[in-house]
Structure 1
Amino acid sequence: MKARAQDWSSYWRAPDRPLEAMHAHFVEHVYHRHSHDSYSFGVTEDGAQSFSCRGAAHTSAAGMIMAFNPDEPHDGHSTTDLGFTYRMVHIGPSLVEGALADLAGGRAGLPLFAAPVVADPVLAGALRRLHTALLDDRASALRRDELLADTLAALVRRAATTAPRLIAAGADDQVATLVRDRLHAAFLDDVTADDLAEAAGRSRFAVYRAFHAKYGMAPSDYQRQLRLREARRLIAGGLPISHAAIAAGFSDQSHLTRWFTRVYGLTPGAYQLSSTLA
């Protein structure tokens, strides 16, 4: 008979703003009734969690979303004796309001989520991507900010009952060009969303919206593309792959190999060999 997995959890907290994330598996643990001063959004990965909220009982099974407004009491426990695994992101109201104001092009107010459980694969995917980046030491601050903007916009559009109106993303050529120039000038730097906002004279979320509208990708993806091009140039010039990876801004050779293969369809080693034989 297979033994049950033990309870475990890991936690991440941003040092400079109200943003936290938890990844946990609970079999025995039972949450006492409590609330948070933040918005709390979770996705159940495995098993099912049962909880009471707003005077009713709810169950979040694998793939479902949990959405709690600030100061909303709830409890929680495993639905079965096999336990449940889930990812939770806590986002402060000030951060939510600021992000949505940028997306709406002005003061937007705060959303209200009336359904504590939402079945939406798109939202589940967005939350997983954001949560994974928050707990990944190799994820850049820029990438985390971009995923936060995407996830908040998706949550408001798809799950909020009372929601600010978000304007359509319109191209702002000047902002996008300034950001592109900043990335080209220092693509090896650990550029943050605040750096790009300062360069463009706009907010972080306005920068992301304008750049994505014009160039079809997030600034972090564009920066990675520039680093991959530099790695190709260095490898073709005879630099060992491990040295090229570091020189091009990747954390190590495996990091370069993963992205090089994903983008170009061959490994850096195969590219190096083709350069040698050419």
Structure 2
Amino acid sequence: MLRGGAGTMGTYTHDRDWVRYDQPRRGIETLNAFFRGHAFDRHAHETLAVACTDSGVQRFRYRGRQHDSTCGGMIVLHPGEAHDGECGADDGFAYRMVYLDPSYGLELLREADLGPHLPFAPDPLTRDPHLGRAFAVLWDALGEPGERLRQDEALVRLWQSLAGNRARGQAVPSVSYRLARVRDALADAPQEHWSLDELAALAGMSRFAVCRAFRRAYGVPPYTYLLTCRLARARQDLAAGVPAAEAALAAGFVDQSHLTRNLKRRFGMAPGRFARAAAGVVG
């Protein structure tokens, strides 16, 4: 199993998949995992995701293209943009990922006069050494819960690297305020059983138009985005020790089995295993 600080390689077994999940502080989630085959189905995150491939070939589809990240490759995925994941070679792949609250990054960028938008990476794969070092520093810092200042400095450094890595003059995709209203409603109340009529009314658009425009804007249809929000809510509850059945209902799933199916498709593990991973039990 992969262990050790950022920038170092630990040892890991190849006999089965494993995942380690953590919420080291508010607004940040981390995932350290190894997969031999299919890792997760197509989905989107509400966060900015930055990852480092530690071994093997990490294959994913993003913005209509297939990408292969090898050892040392950095991956940057924008909030709301759909992707999947699988192994691109027979011996599996290991990676570390940090999920960042975009609102914190926006605040930092505005303070530094680096623009009103999140850094937009036209290519999700990069070997930019500045970003790689910033990621390694942050990963190390997050491993020391009591060192708040060290973590803050590492976060600033990572966001600065992301801002410096974006393409010059690259336009940030704009999203209609109408669609943003739908997205925010789904994110704020994932436990609600929304109908397409309700979403169309929120957007002031026809049902056909809101489905088509939402997918174009966020890479997934409204229901897939709603599942993403429900999984985020359920993951928070599971990490806090809430029983799986209660977490499922609170997040808007029909029952525990509904949560289990979706959690396994997106994160490669059932609720019980996810809860153990969140508690620091690897494997």
TM-score grouping bracket, smaller chain normalisation: 0.5 to 0.7
How far 1:48 moved relative to its partner?
A: 1.3
The number of residues matched between the two structures is 160
Q: Match of 2:108, SS?
A: helix
| Structure 1 residues 15 and 126, CA gap change in structure 2 (3 angstroms) | closer
* 2:122 is the counterpart of 1:114: yes
Q: Which position in structure 2 is the counterpart of 1:9?
A: 19
* 2:94 is the counterpart of 1:85: yes
The CA distance in 2 between the partners of 1:163 and 1:157, in whole Å, is 15
Structure 1: runs of 5 or more not aligned: 165-278
Q: Which position in structure 2 is the counterpart of 1:132?
A: 140
The CA distance in 1 between the partners of 2:112 and 2:19, in whole Å, is 33
- On the 8 A contact 1:41/1:66 being kept in 2, the answer is yes
Question: In structure 1, what residue type is equivalent to 2:46?
Answer: D
Instruction: Give CA-to-partner distance per residue, 1:73-115, whole Å, 9 cap, x none.
Output: 000111112111111111122111011112228x633221211
1:183-194 equivalence runs, <5 A: none
Question: In structure 1, what residue type is equivalent to 2:22?
Answer: W
| Structure 1 residues 26 and 154, CA gap change in structure 2 (3 angstroms) | same
Q: Match of 2:21, SS?
A: strand
Q: Which position in structure 2 is the counterpart of 1:152?
A: 159
Q: Which position in structure 1 is the counterpart of 2:266?
A: none
| Identical-residue share of aligned pairs (%) | 33
How far 1:5 moved relative to its partner?
A: 4.0
The CA distance in 1 between the partners of 2:107 and 2:152, in whole Å, is 12
The CA distance in 2 between the partners of 1:71 and 1:108, in whole Å, is 18
Q: Which position in structure 1 is the counterpart of 2:255?
A: none
- On the 8 A contact 1:123/1:151 being kept in 2, the answer is yes
The CA distance in 2 between the partners of 1:127 and 1:43, in whole Å, is 8
Q: Which position in structure 2 is the counterpart of 1:69?
A: 78
- On the 8 A contact 2:38/2:86 being kept in 1, the answer is yes
The CA distance in 2 between the partners of 1:58 and 1:155, in whole Å, is 20
The CA distance in 2 between the partners of 1:60 and 1:5, in whole Å, is 22
- On the 8 A contact 1:64/1:117 being kept in 2, the answer is yes
Q: Which position in structure 2 is the counterpart of 1:33?
A: 42
How far 1:6 moved relative to its partner?
A: 2.3
Q: Which position in structure 1 is the counterpart of 2:103?
A: 94
The CA distance in 2 between the partners of 1:37 and 1:118, in whole Å, is 21
The CA distance in 2 between the partners of 1:85 and 1:147, in whole Å, is 23
The CA distance in 1 between the partners of 2:146 and 2:18, in whole Å, is 23
Q: Match of 1:58, SS?
A: strand
How far 1:47 moved relative to its partner?
A: 1.1
Q: TM-score, normalised by structure 1?
A: 0.53
- On the 8 A contact 2:57/2:87 being kept in 1, the answer is yes
The CA distance in 1 between the partners of 2:156 and 2:25, in whole Å, is 19
Q: Which position in structure 2 is the counterpart of 1:247?
A: none
The CA distance in 1 between the partners of 2:171 and 2:156, in whole Å, is 15
How far 1:160 moved relative to its partner?
A: 4.8
Q: TM-score, normalised by structure 2?
A: 0.52
The CA distance in 1 between the partners of 2:36 and 2:25, in whole Å, is 30
Instruction: Please identify the structure whose Cα radius of gyration is greater.
Output: 1
The CA distance in 2 between the partners of 1:61 and 1:72, in whole Å, is 21
The CA distance in 2 between the partners of 1:139 and 1:25, in whole Å, is 28
